[in-house]
Amino acid sequence: MGKKTTIYDIAKRLNTTASTVSRALNNSPKISKKTKDLVLETANKMNYQQNKLALALKSGKSNNVGVIVPRIDSNFFASIIKGIEENLYAHGYRVIICQTQNNQNIEVEIINTLLKAQVDGILMSISSINLDTKNSFNRILQKQIPLIFFDRKANIKDVSSVTINDFEAGYMATKHLINQGCKKIAHLSGNILLDIFNNRFLGYKKALEEEGIEFNKAYVLKIRSTVKDGQNAAKQLLKLRNPPNGIFSSSDYAALGAIQEIKANGIKIPGDIKVVGFANEPFTKFMELSISTIDQSPVEMGKIAANVFLQQSNNSENTKIEKNVVLAPKLIIRKSSLKHPNE
């Protein structure tokens, strides 16, 4: 590997000082345009690369923002990232995308890595909440780096968030199933230690309560947001003496798995069991049996999260504000939950 070009090499080539080269590369107003152009041209010819970390340490600004998501192989999080990138790129920021795979240890490592990289802010959807993750969040705040949660959040003073009304989403999905004739409604829930899943569960319970439908613990299963977990959950529900005739899933992937298992058992959807998912993943619309779901406006969520960061980063006094934006969920009704006219 060849020796890296330094500002001293450029200065020697141009018969000038290293400080002049440094000022020219950093667009100092003390250096003439002619000199700047000559230095930049020479630097390019010599394949010079600036030490971004050193510049960040010197200026206190790296123009890099860390974005942490549980997974990137879902349209929901990919769409949020798209919204974040669109707004941040327009303001000269670069985005470093990281995924935790819903692993709290990986999440802590990622946060430490981003802090070492001198990022200007961290936007994230958390994987879990424990002492280690809380300590990591506190380290971000101690360094006066803007921290903004989106979708999944921890309730921390002076930290902003952008979410949807998950309680309302759970309520409207369950209410829709009730209106379609379902009285025995199961709920496939995520980790209720996270606000999003707990609030969806509470919305589900509220809709049942309003209609005078007795809550049945056997109908509520805590699962991961995967097709396999959805299949396993449906197997368990179908073995019940009194199986459900409606399913509200907190995940489109789990809803898909449940549908596959139900159909494999010769049970008709929506005739015998009606299903509503969550997130409005693209496959829900294009399947032969399209899946009813809740849309979370992910691109808008990403754009708003980016705007909150920009507001805080442009005013040092705003790094410690708490701005909680709550978006309205949208119920998308498709074939999987629609009552037949003859029912």
Instruction: In whole angstroms, give the CA distance from residue 319 to residue 159.
Output: 9
pTM of the model: 0.81
In the predicted model, what is the mean pLDDT of residues 334-341?
A: 88
- The predicted-structure confidence for 51-79, as pLDDT tens digits, reads as follows 654 555 454 577 899 999 999 988 999 99
Residue 56, domain member (yes or no): no
Question: Contact 276/177 with Cβ under 8 angstroms?
Answer: yes
**Quick one: pLDDT band at residue 9, thresholds 50, 70, 90?**
confident
| pLDDT score of 1 | 45
Shared domain for 269 and 192, answered yes or no, is yes
| pLDDT score of 155 | 87
Instruction: In whole angstroms, give the CA distance from residue 18 to residue 24.
Output: 10
In the predicted model, what is the mean pLDDT of residues 146-162?
A: 92
Shared domain for 150 and 240, answered yes or no, is no
| pLDDT score of 205 | 98
Residue 150, domain member (yes or no): yes
Radius of gyration of the chain (CA): 26
Shared domain for 207 and 268, answered yes or no, is yes
Q: What is the DSSP string of 36-77?
A: HHHHHHHHHHTT----HHHHHHHHS---EEEEEES-SSSHHH
Instruction: Name the one residue in this structure whose structure tokens are 């200065």.
Output: 11
- The predicted-structure confidence for 267-308, as pLDDT tens digits, reads as follows 999 999 999 999 999 999 999 999 999 999 999 999 999 999
Question: Contact 247/186 with Cβ under 8 angstroms?
Answer: yes
CATH number assigned to the domain comprising residue 22: 1.10.260.40
Mean residue pLDDT across the chain:
90
Closest CA to 46 of 19, 20, 16, 7: 7
Shared domain for 152 and 174, answered yes or no, is no
Q: Name the residue with higher pLDDT: 7 or 293.
A: 293
Residue 251 CA: distances (Å) to CA of 2, 266, 295, 332: 51, 23, 11, 14
Q: Residue 201 sits in which domain range?
A: 166-296+331-337
β-sheet bridge partners, residue 64: 94
Residue 255, domain member (yes or no): yes
Instruction: Name the one residue in this structure whose structure tokens are 């769409």.
Output: 79
β-sheet bridge partners, residue 123: 67, 148
For 60, counting Cβ atoms within 10 Å of its Cβ (0-12 exposed, 13-18 middle, 19+ buried), the class is: exposed
Shared domain for 18 and 133, answered yes or no, is no
- The predicted-structure confidence for 92-133, as pLDDT tens digits, reads as follows 899 999 999 989 899 999 999 999 988 999 999 998 777 778
Number of structural domains (the chain) is 3
Residue 232, domain member (yes or no): yes
Instruction: In whole angstroms, give the CA distance from residue 313 to residue 270.
Output: 50
Shared domain for 173 and 147, answered yes or no, is no
| pLDDT score of 128 | 77
In this structure, what token pair is assigned to residue 164? 């949807």
